[in-house]
Structure 1
Amino acid sequence: MAGGRRSGVALLLDGPPGAPAPHCPHGPALLFAKIRQGKEEGRRFYACSACRERKDCGFFQWEDEKVSEARLLAQEKYNRSQQPFFSHAQNVERYKEFVILPLLERKFCQECQQLLLPPEWSRHSGHQVLSKVSFAQLRRPSQLLSPLENKKTNAQYLFAERSCQFLLDLIVAHGFKRVLCVGTPRLHELIKLQASQEQENPIRSLLLDIDFRYSQFCTEEEFCHYNMFNHYFFGGEAARDVCQKFLQQHKDKRIVMVADPPFGGLVEALAFTFKQLVAMWKQTGCADAASKELPIFWIFPYFFESRILEFFPSFRMLDYQVDYDNHALYKHGKTGRKQSPVRIFTNLSPHLIVLPVEEGYRFCCICQRYVSSENQHCEICNSCTSKDGRRWRHCLLCKMCVKPSWVHCCICDRCALPSHPCKNADARCFICGAADHKRTACPDLHTATRVCRGGQKLKQKKKIVKASVVKNSKKAKTAKRRKKKGKKASWLK
């Protein structure tokens, strides 16, 4: 069981053996349990693997619930209805027809996010359609498609050109010839673009992504519709075989996996999936495959370091700041707390990875790795200790380096923000006032939510009534003013 030490909801990776998990439109659901004071409490339940919010995917089922045949059939029917209209094979054929069209006839519907063939134009006449789609745009579909924006499901924060090129240069420098791109469409298309320009021994790439729109631009050997939260191939065994073949072929050529999951995703689920992909790679039949590690670059915020190391102890975090084109905060070059918190976690030795000096990175001779310029070496810790790009300071009482904004709290006996709530303070539930649980675990949460929503509706009604009174008052004043003007005009006559 993952997350047993915390209160709230925990993901159970050691589910009942042999019992298949129920499916929602995003594949097999995950098993969860409520945890209170480190102990499992109440009934276990299944929920969607990809969506953290019920409004995005409403699937819910108790583990011990007896589901009727009618409900199972209804769920299967609903799951089928949520799948894409065209299959991957059909999209490949459509793309072949699309590329031979004259430039004026190559159109893309920005509302439906779909390449259009001439017979389909009339059905999209009222939509916003982009004309004259060039081959350059087709080769960079991440710039043509609108990024998905749900932070907890399938958020697409696309690598900035700087970070994307750095990753590609890193892949080339280490001699990798195959790249398994898990949720990194922009890196995948950059590799394909470079491969088209190379005559001999180009780098090959396979994209695993939950965004099926990319199947319009990639062959079945280049893209698999995939959910990284439950290791699910939507294309079934055929798609799984494509991935297996890609991992196993060319045993003499090096392969690397680059993963950029949504930052709101569960680390436990992601770690479990990545281990499944590593297991697929180990089935290569090589004599030394079991003793080697699959090289991995896992891109995630630095504050998840302890959670990632819990599942992959051999990983190390690099100081390199990954930035994104379509994210307001995750930008390189900012200072202080505004710097990008996204880092690269890898099982490769950090001293083998050269970070660009022109971007403010330097080599620490003691640590034998590249660090950010502000990450000063602490002689007491004997390490470059900063995680967020700022210069940290050593606390003699804590016997470790801490963030520059933190101070040592004598009550908590640790460093924290000056405004932090001390452990001896009365921390109580905001709803019922009890001290043994938080608001999210309160038994009165449902009632409080209903009352809150009722209050919100009442406020909305009051606003509507108030707006109506103001509107009628304005009308009365206008009518009075007009009447007064009318009397004045008759008197002048």
Structure 2
Amino acid sequence: MIENKGGKLLLEMEEDDADPGDQHPRCDHGPTVLFYRESQLPGQGYYACSAHRDSKLCNFQLPADQWKGHSSGNSVPERDYPSSSGKPLKPAAPDPTLTLTALSQDKVNAQYFFDEAALNFLANQCKNIGASKVICLGAPRLHFHLRQKLQSFLLDLDERFAAYLGPEEFCLYNMCNNHFFYNRKPFEQFLEATSADQLLIVTDPPFGCRTELISHTLRSLRKLHNKINQLPSTPLSIFFIFPYYSANHIKQEMPEMEMCDYRINYTNHLRYTNVGKQSRFCGSPVRMFTNVPLRLLHLPEEEGYKYCQKCDLHTAKENIHCNRCGICASLNGQLYRHCESCDVCVKPNYVHCKNCRRCTQREGHNCSFYQTKQHCWLCGVQGHIETNCLKFRKRKLMHTNGCLLCGKKNHRERRCTHRKKYFREFHFMNDTTIQCL
């Protein structure tokens, strides 16, 4: 079970190794997802399509209490490849995405294609990390850009690409539920590795997709790769293309992912680009999240990036290093400033709220509601701030001003050297677990 970040719906996905009799019911787009509201118990919700967020496009909906847990007669038939010979139906084209009409249904399969700079950037990063094979998960233009340079396989929900590519490099696929519509044997053969192979997954999902679903799919592909190659639980390199404002959602599902400062532009999106009257004042908000060490990625200086020696990585030129935070903090291209009161770098237009002990977007906000969305700097749990932390209040050691642990005013609880007296913290793959002593 995974909670919706908006707090209204929850969802549950089937496990990769679940018994076939326990699988979720299926619609025309593969296994469905169980949705239910916070007020409902698991099993009281409904199953709905994983790919289509508009019931007009896929109206499958089954109350959970009507599902008997048997997939017999409910499976999606495997489709034949459009060409019986398994060969492309049309002559090979340099890149059919340059001539095909982009799909435009934002609630399922809207297509936005990388511009030339983004393609070159991604190709260069493949070279920098030594990738020899790439899975393009919903990134067709990148596949056509890479296929002459290294081995690439395209998994996409647009069946038109089967006319240009054979089954050895394309499969019709739903990334929201890891469902293969064609025989997946050619893809499994692609995953077979030699000792010199290094596999990279590049995914560019629709920005309305649930990050829980995409993360689940990425884990499923990793398990499949490890199983085929008889490997232990071995991670795969991932480039996850998504807007920077979804960083917390991605980190919650995949804490090992870090954001690269490179701004991804698209040729056919008015807002996600750095050209045109409707472009954002700070450029495209789209970034690349990755589990590859950021120091291995080289951002082009000619496009407005620099190397920060203190961080040992490339960042945007306007991103100023904060010695207090120890990072180049800006996420969106604005010049962030360090707030002494909450001891963190914030956007330049943020204002500090003494009641919330945080900088917020605006004054006059609903403090009670805002605080339910915050993570406590003491125990790390979401839903309250430090002054309301029941786990720590029992110790009756709270100071009224400054740091609640030591009383000093030049820092907050996250940086206090006294933390080890009250908490035991475990760090693994950028995820921190806090245990109160």
Aligned to 2:65: 64
- Partner residue of 2:169? 222
The residue aligned with 1:9 is 9
Deviation at 1:411, TM superposition (A): 4.2
Question: Structure 1 residue aligned with 2:326, among 382, 387, 390?
Answer: 382
Residue-pair matches, total: 363
Whether 2:312 is the aligned partner of 1:311: answer no
Unaligned runs of 5+ in 2: 371-437
**1:407-437 deviations in Å (ceiling 9; x for gaps):** 11234432122266323589xxxxxxxxxxx
Q: Secondary structure of 1:344's match?
A: strand
Deviation, 1:336, is 6.7
Select 2:219's aligned residue among 256, 259, 275: 275
| CA-based RMSD | 2.8
- 2:34–2:48 Cα contact (<8 Å) kept: yes
1:225-240 aligned at under 5 Å gives the runs 225-235=172-182, 238-239=183-184
Contact 2:12 2:35 in 1 (8 A): yes
Corresponding residue SS for 2:172: strand
Q: Are positions 1:358 and 2:302 aligned together?
A: yes
5 Å-filtered alignment, 1:51-130, equals 51-65=52-66, 87-90=81-84, 92-93=86-87, 95=89, 98-99=90-91
Whether contact under 8 Å (1:152, 1:263) holds in the other structure is no
Task: Say if 2:159 is the partner of 1:158.
Answer: no
Letter in 1 for 2:83: A
Q: CA deviation at 1:277?
A: 0.3
Shift of 1:64: 1.4
Task: Name which of 130, 133, 138 aligns with 1:183.
Answer: 138
**Alignment partner of 1:283: what SS?**
helix
Superposition TM-score, scaled by structure 1 size:
0.68
Q: Aligned partners of 2:169 and 2:197: how far apart in 1?
A: 18
2:318 and 2:340 map into 1 onto residues whose CA distance is 21
Q: Check 1:256–1:42 CA distance in 2 against 1; reply closer, same or farther (3 A cut).
A: closer
Give distance in 1, aligned partners of 2:364 and 2:48: 34
**2:171 partner amino acid:** C
Whether the aligned pair in 2 keeps the contact of 1:6 and 1:35 (CA below 8 Å) is no
Residue 128 of structure 2 contacts residue 296 of structure 2 at CA under 8 Å; is this kept in 1?
no
Sequence identity of aligned pairs in percent? 34
Match of 2:376 in 1: none
Per-residue CA deviation, residues 281-307 of structure 1 (Å, 9 max, x unaligned), is: 112446xx4264211111111112122
**How far does the alpha carbon of each residue in 1:227-286 deviate from its partner, in whole angstroms, 9 at most, with x for none?**
000000011xx32x2222211233422221111111100011110110000111112446
Match of 1:325 in 2: 267
CA distance in 1, matches of 2:364, 2:289: 29
Q: Deviations over 1:414-463 (max 9, x none)?
A: 2122266323589xxxxxxxxxxxxxxxxxxxxxxxxxxxxxxxxxxxxx
Q: Compute the displacement of 1:91 (Å).
A: 8.2
In the other structure, the counterpart of 2:47 is 46
Pick one of 188, 197, 201 that aligns with 1:257.
Answer: 201
1:226 maps to amino acid: Y
Give the drift of 1:42: 7.8
**Structure 1, 48-57 or 86-95: larger mean CA deviation:** 86-95
Q: Which has the higher helix share?
A: 1
Deviation at 1:321, TM superposition (A): 0.5
Specify the code of the residue in structure 1 equivalent to 2:167: E
Structure 1 pair 91–40 and aligned structure 2 pair: CA distance change class (3 A):
farther
* Deviation at residue 48 of structure 1 after TM alignment: 0.3
Instruction: Tell me if 1:294 matches 2:236.
Output: yes
Q: CA–CA distance in 2 between the matches of 1:393 and 1:26?
A: 47
SS at match of 1:343: strand
- The letter of the residue matching 2:273 is K
Q: Distance in 2 between matches of 1:419 and 1:155?
A: 37
The Cα shift of 1:13 comes to 2.9
Structure 2 partner of 1:446 = none
What SS does structure 2 have at the residue aligned with 1:52? coil
Closer/same/farther in 2, CA of residues 66 and 406 from structure 1, 3 Å limit: closer
Task: In structure 1, list runs of 5 or more residues that go unmatched.
Answer: 100-134, 196-202, 427-493
Structure 1 residue 332, shift from structure 2 partner: 3.4
Q: What corresponds to 2:408 in structure 1?
A: none
Pairwise CA distance, 1:139 = 2.3
Q: Which of the two has higher C-alpha Rg?
A: 1
8 Å contact from structure 1 (residues 395, 402) kept in 2 = yes
Q: 1:20 aligns with which of 2, 20, 23?
A: 23
What TM-score do you get using the length of structure 2 for normalisation? 0.76
